[in-house]
């Protein structure tokens, strides 16, 4: 029986720059940094490194062909492997998804989960939130058990919707697993665009003309992130629908107000005409983006990614 091929994708362990040891207070120009903050950052680095070492140790004891790559060095499509394991948080898993076509499942490991008691204890001093792992099925504590369940076929991946995009008929290479944001590159500038929902049968909704802060479209997996923060509706992670929201619309027509926020079914797409001189489409945050200009037309549709979810 052929050995399974595994790619271990890691968030860098040197996320924070080197710092002198703090015994009380560090002063940096106009900033005063508490020693508690520095110890917290050091502890985050330690937890992440220990999780990496733990995962490597477990993988080495399995009958697997595996290779390791840092996420910052990922530059080409992930293929010729049977499983991708990401160690970091949702950001590392999302980075991997931009280089995958949905044929290879992903197992995310949250290397430094947030401790609610710590957040509460430090709430008057600083934000002690750690790594977000909504898409991660494992932590250091249960990685061995989850990995064995995956390898033995006891745990099956969930197929999640992704957002693909065409600009003037040309398909954009990246797909978004969480959401995309279409907006002017300057947050203080108005985004001007029109959109309508199109069905496969050819039927279309009315044309909605917008002046706003932009347009966000999320998957079900991304509906609990920025979409929910903006007042959107959380969706079950396996739902195939997309959710959209016009951000801060400027004096919309009364008839258009109900259509500033809605859903796109699997048999539907959204056609957008962009009317600002400049524009950007951001995929899953700020690192992956594409420029659009006046007159460009974008059409969204869905693809899928296989994730081992909790």
104 pLDDT higher than 60: yes
Note the pLDDT of residue 30.
47
Query: Which has more confidence, 6 or 25?
Result: 6
Look at 32-41, 60-69, 188-197 and tell me which has the smallest mean pLDDT.
32-41
Question: Known catalytic residues?
Answer: 90
Whether 1 has a pLDDT exceeding 60, the answer reads: no
pLDDT value at residue 306: 81
Q: Tell me the pLDDT tens digit for each residue of 292-302.
A: 999 888 878 77
CA atoms within 13 A on the CB side of 41: 15
Residue 205 has pLDDT above 50, yes or no: yes
The total of other beta-carbon atoms located within 10 Å of residue 230's CB is 13
Q: Decide if pLDDT at 16 tops 90.
A: no
- Min mean pLDDT across 21-25, 123-127, 167-171 is at 21-25
Q: What pLDDT, in 10s, does the model give residues 215-272?
A: 999 999 999 999 999 999 999 999 999 999 999 999 999 999 999 999 999 889 999 9
Pick the CATH number of 161-303 from 3.40.50.300, 2.30.30.40, 2.60.200.30, 2.30.42.10: 2.60.200.30
What's the pLDDT at 300? 81
User: Rounded to an integer, what distance in angstroms lies between the CA atom of residue 299 and that of residue 271?
Assistant: 5
Kindly report the pTM of this predicted structure.
0.90
Query: What span, in angstroms and rounded, lies between the C-alpha atoms of 103 and 160?
Result: 12
Superfamily for 4-156? Answer: Probable inorganic polyphosphate/atp-NAD kinase; domain 1 (3.40.50.10330)
Mean pLDDT of the chain: 91
Residue 304 predicted with pLDDT over 90: no
Q: Which residue has the higher pLDDT, 158 or 29?
A: 158
Give 86's pLDDT tier (boundaries 50, 70, 90): very high
Domain residue limits, the chain? 4-156, 161-303
For the chain, the DSSP string reads -PPEEEEEEE--S--S------SSEEEETTEEEEHHHHHHHHHHHHHHHHHHHHHHHHHHTSSEEEEEEEGGG--S---S-SEEEEEE-HHHHHHHHTT--SSS-EEEEESSB--HHHHHHTTTT-----B--TT--EETTTHHHHHHHHHTTSS-PEEEEEEEEEETTEEPS--BSSEEEEE-SSTTSPEEEEEEEEETTS-B---EEEEESEEEEE-TGGGGTHHHHTT-----TT---EEEEEES-SS--TTTGGGSEEEE-TTEEEEEEE-SSEEEEEETTTTEEEEEETT-EEEEEEEEEEE---
Give the pLDDT band (50/70/90) at residue 18: low
pLDDT band for position 207 (cuts 50, 70, 90): very high
Smallest CA-to-CA distance from 86 within 109, 58, 54 is with 109
């Amino acid at each position: 029986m052929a050995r399974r091929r595994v790619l271990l994708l890691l968030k860098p362990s040197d996320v924070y720059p080197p710092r002198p040891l703090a015994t009380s207070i560090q002063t940096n120009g106009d900033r005063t940094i508490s020693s508690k903050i520095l110890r917290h950052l050091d502890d985050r680095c330690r937890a992440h490194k220990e999780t990496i070492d733990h995962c490597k140790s477990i993988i080495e004891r399995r009958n697997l062909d595996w290779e390791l790559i840092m996420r910052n060095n990922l530059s080409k499509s992930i293929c010729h492997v049977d499983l991708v394991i990401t160690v970091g948080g949702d950001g590392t898993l999302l980075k991997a998804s931009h280089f995958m076509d949905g044929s290879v499942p992903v197992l995310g490991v949250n290397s430094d989960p947030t401790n609610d008691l710590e957040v509460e204890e430090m709430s008057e001093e600083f934000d002690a939130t750690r790594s977000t792992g909504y898409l991660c099925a494992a932590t250091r504590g249960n990685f061995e058990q989850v990995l064995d369940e995956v390898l033995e076929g006891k745990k099956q991946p969930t197929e999640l919707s992704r957002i693909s995009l065409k600009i003037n008929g040309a398909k954009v290479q990246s797909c978004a697993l969480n959401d995309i944001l279409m907006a002017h590159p300057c947050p203080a500038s108005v985004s001007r665009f029109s959109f309508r929902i199109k069905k496969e049968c050819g039927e279309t909704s009315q044309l909605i003309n917008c002046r706003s802060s932009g347009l966000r479209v999320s998957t079900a997996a991304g509906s609990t992130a920025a979409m929910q923060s903006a007042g959107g509706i959380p969706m079950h992670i396996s739902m195939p629908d997309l959710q959209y929201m016009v951000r801060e619309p400027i004096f919309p027509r009364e008839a258009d107000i109900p259509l500033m926020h809605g859903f796109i079914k699997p048999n539907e797409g959204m056609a957008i005409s962009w009317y600002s001189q400049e524009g950007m489409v951001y995929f899953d945050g700020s690192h992956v983006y594409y420029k659009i200009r006046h007159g460009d037309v974008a059409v969204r549709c869905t693809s899928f990614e296989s994730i081992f979810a909790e």
